[in-house]
Structure 1
Amino acid sequence: MKGTVKERGNTWSYIVDIGRDPITGKRRQKTKGGFSRKKDAQAALRKIQSELDEDRFVEPSKESFSSYMEFWFTSHYQKRIKETTASSRKYLMDKHLIRENPFANKMLSKITTEDIDAFYNLKLDEEYSTSTIRKLHQLLNQAFGQAVKWKRISFNPVINADPPSVKKEEMKIWSFDEIGSFLNQCKGERHYLTFLLAIYTGMRKGELLGLQWSDIDFGKKIIRIQRSLSHIPNNGYRLSTLKTKKSKRQVPIPDFLVKALKAHRERQETQRKRLGEQYQDQDLVICTETGTFQDPRNVLRVMKRVSEAANVTPIRFHDIRHTHASILISEGVDIVKVQTRLGHSKPSITLEHYAHMMPNQDDEVADIFHNALQNSR
């Protein structure tokens, strides 16, 4: 690239062409002065010319962090993820990275790793969970990484940042007696089948509420999990695709659950005929009395009330899934089969959650090793 060195008063400056503006097509130049010696200005000029020749030159962006984040999210990031994920990430970005961020108005190119670490510490002081901070870390890393690719900055300051490790909450599960007590207390409730399905299949809450009658093969005694109920801010509830390919799966069910489903369908059909045109049939297994999407909060309210009445350990809805998996593993079911049933993307995720619950076979392993050595002699 063309460049020149000029004397200005008692100092030296360089001027170099840095190409044309990709939008306007106009010629662009970079000027830097203040060099006390001519040879220093020449050395700096050669350095930037070398970067330009090797396509390594980056002209630091003067835009603010918040304006860049808005542009990056809208023009790039949200187009590559699910609508439901985009909605939750947009909330995180707006709240934490723009409204409640000390460097929100700082120039993108001036943000340092120290700024990022101070931001994480601020969120810890504000008592946000380590899981939330990790999600913010991922957002920042992707945004700054793209800024490097777009040559707005030369280095991603998030790479060397130190986000806190995720603290896992202690897993709470029900015993066999507690499962029995809860279900006995739940009989007669409108959501009895909801909890029965959760306990006996390990399905996620969204998967249960998005289940349709067309997903159930009564002859083969199989539930095909193909979608989930999700909430989109300002748009309400809607059916969405599942998180991963492995989430789309078939779950075998026992005879008694088949009978419970058929009985539930008969009651639902009676309700549909009674309401006539007022019933909005969406083929949902779990729905409101008028056939519409069931608000998950109502399910949680029923669970809390029934749990208190049954005097069982208070757990989250997702812990019913943990209970299902833990029982299978404690009964010696192969970890890969458990992974498939739960819809985890790989066995390592299942192991990470439930390895401590696998039957202890250390003594047996010790005997196998000893016998192998004895037999080899």
Structure 2
Amino acid sequence: MKGSIQKRGNTWTYIVDVGRDPQTGKRQQKTKGGFPRLKDAQLALRKLLSEIDENKYIAPSKETLAEYLEHWFTHYEKRIKVTTVCTRKYLMDKHLIKENPFSNKELSKITTRDIDAFYNLKLDEGYSTSTIRKIHQMLNQAFNQAVKWSKVTNNPVLAADPPSVKKVEMKIWSFNEIDLFLEHCKEERHHITFLLAIYTGMRRGEILGLKWSDIDFEKKTIRVQRSLSHVTNEGYILSTPKTTKSIRYVPIPKMLLDELHSHKNRQKEWNERLGPDYSDQDLVICTEMGSFQDPRNVLRVMKRIMKAANVSPIRFHDIRHTHASILISEGVDIVRVAARLGHANPKITLETYAHLISDVDNEAADIFHNALKTAREQKVSKGS
């Protein structure tokens, strides 16, 4: 493959045939000018021809980012959980296509500077650092694939500087607040829902996806192996938990087993009353018709009870934090707490609850000091 060099005014320009567009079949040319000297243009031309000969040259894509993302997502969605597809699609459509100043810019012309300015724009618009990090991760995956598909030579996202995630302040209940809340929800249908959350630390979706077949009344354990999720155009479905470590056995006390027995008897009454209209799906937490329980209804009930009980307003997920915090304060080691919560790695548990185990660190320091002190004393006594 050969190229040519032409003088245009006071500068030099090279022109090279770089093959045909794989989509349109049209002949493509690479032109670059502005070289002040002939030998500068010749050097650049030789470098380009060498890249073409070694199959290292990638013709810049004329696709806009928006056009590329629509195509890329059909590939990407087959590689993620069906329950994740709708949230990722929403994130892409809203932030990377509709509300993105460079969404109509050619893919090959997008720079790291464009991306950093975009992140700053999202911060100015009031979006959380967590949301911007998710946008960053998706954009990075999209550009990585663009490199693999030879649409761009490099990924400009790699050098971008997304903001660090600011963690939401953890709020937990005291023992007194737990008692007050449970006392005020005794007559509620969701009393068992909140008992499960407080006594197991299970995630909301895991509780709402729990089946009676998951409970071993003899061994006093719950097998966590599914979660209730919402999928656009499909409604609520049962899916696999967050990670493989989320599939776990959670031991429970006899008191909770007794409450579950009572709840099961109430469900039998619903079934008998409704007959064929009752949709028995073996769910522990369900509507009086037997169908999936809308998580939003659980949150509405929780909010009402918190107000009536005059306890600190917290999120449902903070009940999980409360459960973990009590275990740690009672001396249960991090590895066991991580296994009970279904964390992918004990490191996650440690990072989340590190502030609760400072006393343990102090105790370890004393243990180390006392061990050395004892060894010295023994040495002195032997010497004497």
Q: What TM-score do you get using the length of structure 2 for normalisation?
A: 0.92
Q: 1:160-210, CA deviations, whole angstroms, 9 ceiling, x for partnerless residues?
A: 211111111211001101000000100010100000000000010000111
Give the alignment of 1:206-285 within 5 angstroms.
Answer: 206-285=205-284
Change (3 A) 1:104 1:324: same
Does residue 109 in structure 1 map to residue 73 in structure 2? no
C-alpha deviation, 1:309, in angstroms: 0.4
1:197 matched to which residue of 2? Answer: 196
Q: 1:49-84, CA deviations, whole angstroms, 9 ceiling, x for partnerless residues?
A: 22223433121111111111111111x211111011
User: Secondary structure, in 3 states, of the residue corresponding to 1:360?
Assistant: helix
Instruction: Tell me if the contact between 1:117 and 1:162 (Cα under 8 Å) persists in the aligned partners.
Output: yes
Instruction: Tell me if the contact between 2:61 and 2:151 (Cα under 8 Å) persists in the aligned partners.
Output: yes
Q: What TM-score do you get using the length of structure 1 for normalisation?
A: 0.94
Distance 2:8 2:119 in 1: 47
Distance 2:117 2:26 in 1: 40
Give the alignment of 1:16-35 within 5 angstroms.
Answer: 16-19=16-19, 21-22=21-22, 29-32=29-32
Instruction: Tell me if the contact between 1:185 and 1:306 (Cα under 8 Å) persists in the aligned partners.
Output: yes
Distance 2:328 2:63 in 1: 53
Matched residue type, 1:203: M
Instruction: Tell me if the contact between 1:209 and 1:229 (Cα under 8 Å) persists in the aligned partners.
Output: yes
1:360 matched to which residue of 2? Answer: 359
Matched residue type, 1:52: I
Q: 1:193-230, CA deviations, whole angstroms, 9 ceiling, x for partnerless residues?
A: 00000000001000011111111111111110111000
2:333 matched to which residue of 1? Answer: 334
Matched residue type, 1:346: N
Identity in percent: 70
Matched residue type, 2:136: H
Does residue 55 in structure 1 map to residue 41 in structure 2? no
1:135 matched to which residue of 2? Answer: 134
Change (3 A) 1:362 1:143: closer
User: Secondary structure, in 3 states, of the residue corresponding to 2:165?
Assistant: coil
C-alpha deviation, 1:85, in angstroms: 1.1
Give unmatched runs, 5+ long, in structure 2. Answer: 380-384
1:69 matched to which residue of 2? Answer: 69
Change (3 A) 1:301 1:352: same
* Most deviating of 44-53 and 87-96: 44-53
User: Secondary structure, in 3 states, of the residue corresponding to 1:56?
Assistant: coil
Does residue 319 in structure 1 map to residue 293 in structure 2? no
Matched residue type, 2:99: E
Give the alignment of 1:10-21 within 5 angstroms.
Answer: 13-19=13-19, 21=21
* Most deviating of 299-308 and 54-63: 54-63
Instruction: Tell me if the contact between 2:111 and 2:156 (Cα under 8 Å) persists in the aligned partners.
Output: yes
1:176 matched to which residue of 2? Answer: 175
* Most deviating of 302-311 and 4-13: 4-13
Matched residue type, 1:132: T
Distance 1:112 1:219 in 2: 61
User: Secondary structure, in 3 states, of the residue corresponding to 1:237?
Assistant: strand
C-alpha deviation, 1:368, in angstroms: 3.2
Matched residue type, 1:272: N
User: Secondary structure, in 3 states, of the residue corresponding to 1:104?
Assistant: coil
Distance 1:373 1:124 in 2: 52
User: Secondary structure, in 3 states, of the residue corresponding to 2:359?
Assistant: coil
C-alpha deviation, 1:243, in angstroms: 1.6
Instruction: Tell me if the contact between 1:20 and 1:27 (Cα under 8 Å) persists in the aligned partners.
Output: yes
User: Secondary structure, in 3 states, of the residue corresponding to 1:239?
Assistant: strand
Instruction: Tell me if the contact between 1:217 and 1:223 (Cα under 8 Å) persists in the aligned partners.
Output: yes
1:39 matched to which residue of 2? Answer: 39
Distance 1:166 1:26 in 2: 46
